[in-house]
């Protein structure tokens, strides 16, 4: 006789019925679950000592046995043949219950029975004693399904950011706070406002230096300390760089971007130029160089991850492509959506937006619950963290989760994985557009919502992309009048296969266009880039409040919307002038096209998409599977600090080109099994990144105003 399922199960008993308690089928005729009707202590799992082959239907036998014991038969337990759940009536007395047990014990057809008791099973990591955790909807949204970052399953698998350090570049962090202290990293911290190692915020008359502490709590607030909240990456360490509490200069910014860059893995920057709808500004020369140096030499050469907020100028028609931090290819540009997944009034849109995550919304929609400082009126906890300021640290925390499972992800791998995994959803306003590589992007939402589960599972199986290559067109002098809307002025540039041969570029990442436009009211101009596939990007949005008469002087606009597409083909730039009256004549003086990408073929892009989707079941996260990681470069922990800013400037100006060239060369050789086609050859139209415009060091420093990015209706 074959070894039947029931024999096999009998060997495993008694644990199985207990484990499967929750899979009991509802018994027809009994309401299920009737409150109090069949609860532990009143229920028995029973295995009958007969089988269907004995000539009696097991269901009938079970019914008879249950009646003899004075119990109700609730039917077969799950898929376990011969196993039934019996229950005592809702209001039975203890002595009646024990009598039933005696009947079962003595019954000849009962092979085994067990009175069920509640099992002590904690929902792993899901239950915290932190009093505000239940209100952290962005982590677990019970009201609006799917409107959270989908992180709890990652935590259950012990992915909490362990081994990763995130630094909050802001107005300081109160690291003595209960929720911050356990994960605080003094090694990654610094105070550039007071020039000391301690980034403790200074209370000021406006009481608003709580910003960095709130961001730090979102990332790494300690769990299960009966205090406030839980961070996205509560196993990570969090550092603070205090830089926003005072005048900020280009050199301070440059120091901040590379501070302790072998300790700090992720830089969370919730600030930027003014969001007034008429500013065009970004990192100045040293800041630019520092960003580039960070991605080349930070994290032992894998590259610092710079996460920046897209800005809060939505109500001013601001667009993050006028923000050079967002626009930079070196940054992960993160926008905000509200609890409904809609763009809140303050959020900005742009073609270089990589993805969005949650923050505050209009009206009654909830804000972000996080740690707060306890200085001044602070309680150490807030339910009112708002704006794209609150979104960027959530993204930084999610990157920390990715880096735990795959520490050798490069700065570009992180951007790729976001593009491959961000989730789309129904939103009439979003205007999702699919590019020819199958990536869907919205100027409002980037590639979609960051999803921690998808990010981490993709990270686990992600092999580093080939090294970065770029292509630059010559400067294209046009001197062409810009037509009035709805007419457009179009200029084109054809990138041929021969143009791409030396760099080996096949598919695109960022596409940038440096534009010089003369216009007496530049906000009237709208600039659209069309990639060879036909994918359109509004790289320069029309901004009615920008009345600046100086036009754009070689401003670099970027888009991520052509990600993964073939690089070869004709690129078009279309300009139109939303002028009132006939007098505002604008001119496109010149432009230059810059493509960034790699030798990854179009087919490889599609293959990676499949690999990523195949990993979404969590099977690689569950197993001991791991891809090999190269060790990284041995880079001195701090190549700039503690130099003075003057020495820093000189060093950067004089030495950076050589330094970067050598570092990047090393990086390519060491990490990416260099393909010699892309190296050491320079000619018009072809370059690796160290030669690009990004390194042009032009006008010198001016103190800049950098505003923390917060919602207008911030509670404090
Ligand atoms: Ca200090
Ligand atoms: Ca806590
Ligand atoms: Ca802005
Ligand atoms: Ca960016």
Q: Specify whether the CB–CB gap between 154 and 456 falls below 8 A.
A: yes
pLDDT of amino acid 661: 45
pLDDT of amino acid 57: 85
pLDDT per residue as tens digits for the range 505-516? 999 999 999 999
Tell me the CA–centroid distance for residue 214 and ligand 4, in Å: 23
pLDDT per residue as tens digits for the range 20-55? 223 333 333 333 333 445 666 778 888 988 766 666
The CATH number for 133-453, chosen from 2.102.10.10, 3.40.50.200, 3.40.50.1000, 3.30.590.10, is 3.40.50.200
Q: Specify whether the CB–CB gap between 86 and 43 falls below 8 A.
A: yes
Lowest-confidence segment of 341-345, 390-394, 430-434, 642-646 by average pLDDT: 642-646
Distance between CA 416 and CA 303 in Å, rounded? 14
pLDDT band at 653 (very low <50, low <70, confident <90, very high): low
Coil, helix or strand for 83? strand
* Bridge partners, residue 83, by sequence: 47
Task: Pick 631 or 320 by higher pLDDT.
Answer: 320
Q: Which ligand is nearest to the CA of 273?
A: 3
Tell me the CA–centroid distance for residue 172 and ligand 1, in Å: 8
Q: What is the dihedral of CA 643, 645, 650, 651, to 10 degrees?
A: 40
Q: Which ligand is nearest to the CA of 229?
A: 2
Is residue 83 part of the annotated active site? The answer reads no
Q: Which ligand is nearest to the CA of 272?
A: 3
Is residue 170 part of the annotated active site? The answer reads yes
**Annotated catalytic residue, options 170, 191, 318, 413:** 170
CATH class held by domain 19-115:
alpha beta
pLDDT band at 440 (very low <50, low <70, confident <90, very high): very high
**Annotated catalytic residue, options 175, 211, 441, 510:** 211
* CATH entry 1.10.645.10 includes domain 469-599: no
- Residues, CB-to-ion distance under 5 Å, ligand 4: 331, 333
Q: Which ranges of 221-336 would DSSP assign to H, the alpha helix?
A: 250-258, 285-297, 324-327
CA 354 to chain centroid, in Å, comes to 9
Tell me the CA–centroid distance for residue 223 and ligand 2, in Å: 4
Task: Pick 43 or 603 by higher pLDDT.
Answer: 603
Q: Which ligand is nearest to the CA of 325?
A: 4
pLDDT of amino acid 689: 40
Tell me the CA–centroid distance for residue 178 and ligand 1, in Å: 19
Q: What mean pLDDT is predicted for residues 532-560?
A: 97
Q: What mean pLDDT is predicted for residues 548-576?
A: 97
Is residue 389 part of the annotated active site? The answer reads yes
Tell me the CA–centroid distance for residue 389 and ligand 2, in Å: 20
Task: Pick 576 or 715 by higher pLDDT.
Answer: 576
Q: What is the dihedral of CA 385, 391, 396, 402, to 10 degrees?
A: 120
Domain layout of the chain by residue ranges? 19-115, 133-453, 469-599
Q: What mean pLDDT is predicted for residues 465-489?
A: 97
Tell me the CA–centroid distance for residue 479 and ligand 4, in Å: 29
Tell me the CA–centroid distance for residue 191 and ligand 2, in Å: 25
Tell me the CA–centroid distance for residue 577 and ligand 4, in Å: 26
Q: Specify whether the CB–CB gap between 515 and 551 falls below 8 A.
A: no
């Amino acid at each position: 006789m074959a070894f039947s399922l029931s024999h096999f199960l009998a060997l495993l008993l008694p644990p199985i019925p207990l484990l499967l308690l929750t899979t009991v089928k509802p018994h027809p005729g009994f309401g299920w679950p009737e409150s109090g009707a069949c609860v532990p202590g009143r229920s028995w799992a029973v295995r009958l000592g007969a089988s269907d082959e004995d000539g009696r239907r097991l269901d009938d036998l079970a019914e008879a046995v249950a009646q003899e014991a004075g119990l109700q038969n609730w039917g077969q337990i799950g898929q376990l043949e011969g196993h039934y759940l019996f229950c005592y009536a809702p209001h039975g007395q203890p002595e009646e219950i024990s009598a039933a047990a005696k009947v079962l014990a003595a019954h000849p057809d009962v092979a085994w029975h067990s009175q069920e008791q509640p099992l002590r099973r904690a929902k792993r990591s899901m239950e915290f004693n932190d009093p505000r955790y239940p209100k952290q909807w962005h982590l677990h949204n019970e009201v609006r399904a799917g409107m959270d970052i989908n992180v709890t399953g990652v935590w259950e698998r012990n992915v909490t950011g362990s081994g990763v350090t995130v630094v909050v570049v802001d107005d300081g962090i109160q690291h003595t706070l209960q929720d911050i202290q356990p994960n605080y990293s003094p090694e990654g911290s610094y105070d550039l406002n007071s020039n000391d190692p301690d980034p403790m915020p200074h209370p000021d008359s406006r009481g608003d230096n709580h910003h960095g502490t709130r961001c730090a709590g979102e990332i790494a607030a300690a769990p299960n300390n009966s205090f406030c909240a839980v961070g996205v990456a509560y196993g990570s360490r969090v550092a603070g760089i205090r830089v926003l509490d005072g005048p900020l200069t280009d050199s301070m910014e440059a120091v901040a971007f590379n501070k302790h860059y072998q300790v700090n893995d992720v830089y969370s920057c919730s600030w930027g130029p003014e969001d007034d709808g008429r500013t065009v500004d970004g990192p100045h020369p040293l800041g630019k160089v520092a960003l580039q140096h960070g991605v080349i030499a930070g994290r032992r050469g894998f590259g610092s991850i710079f996460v920046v907020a897209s800005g809060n100028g939505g109500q001013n028609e601001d667009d993050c492509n006028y923000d050079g931090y967002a626009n930079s290819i070196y940054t992960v540009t993160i926008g905000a959506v509200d609890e409904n997944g809609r763009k809140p009034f303050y959020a900005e849109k742009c073609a270089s937006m990589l993805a969005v995550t949650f923050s505050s919304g209009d009206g009654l929609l909830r804000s972000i619950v996080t740690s707060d400082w306890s200085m001044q009126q602070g309680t150490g906890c807030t339910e009112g963290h708002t704006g794209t300021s609150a979104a960027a640290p959530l993204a930084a925390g999610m990157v920390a989760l990715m880096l735990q499972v795959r520490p050798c992800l490069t700065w570009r791998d992180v951007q790729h994985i976001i593009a491959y995994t961000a989730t789309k959803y129904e939103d009439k306003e979003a205007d999702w557009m699919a590019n020819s590589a199958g990536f869907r992007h919205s100027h409002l939402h980037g590639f979609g919502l960051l999803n921690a589960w998808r990010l981490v599972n993709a990270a686990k199986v992600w092999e580093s992309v080939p090294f970065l290559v770029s292509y630059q067109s010559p400067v294209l002098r046009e001197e062409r009048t810009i037509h009035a809307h709805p007419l457009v002025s179009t200029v084109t540039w054809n990138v041929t296969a021969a143009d791409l041969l030396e760099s080996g570029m096949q598919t695109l990442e960022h596409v940038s266009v440096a534009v010089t436009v003369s216009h007496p009211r530049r906000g009237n101009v709208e600039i659209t880039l069309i990639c060879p596939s036909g994918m359109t990007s509004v790289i320069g949005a029309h901004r009615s409040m920008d009345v600046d008469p100086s036009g754009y002087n070689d401003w670099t606009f970027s888009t991520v919307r052509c990600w993964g597409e073939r690089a070869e083909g004709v690129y078009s730039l279309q300009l139109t002038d939303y002028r009132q009256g006939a007098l505002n004549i604008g001119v496109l003086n010149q432009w230059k096209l810059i493509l960034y990408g790699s030798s990854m073929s179009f087919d490889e892009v599609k293959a990676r998409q499949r690999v990523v989707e195949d990993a979404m079941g969590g099977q690689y996260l569950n197993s001991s599977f791991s891809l090999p990681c190269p060790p990284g470069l041995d880079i001195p922990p701090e190549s700039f600090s503690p130099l003075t800013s003057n020495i820093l400037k000189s060093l950067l100006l004089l030495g950076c080109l050589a330094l970067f060239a050598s570092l990047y060369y090393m990086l390519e050789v060491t990490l990416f099994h260099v393909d010699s086609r892309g190296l050491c050859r320079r000619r018009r139209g072809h370059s690796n990144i160290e030669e690009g415009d990004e390194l042009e060091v032009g006008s010198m420093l001016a103190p800049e105003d950098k505003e923390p990015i917060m919602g207008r209706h911030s509670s404090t």
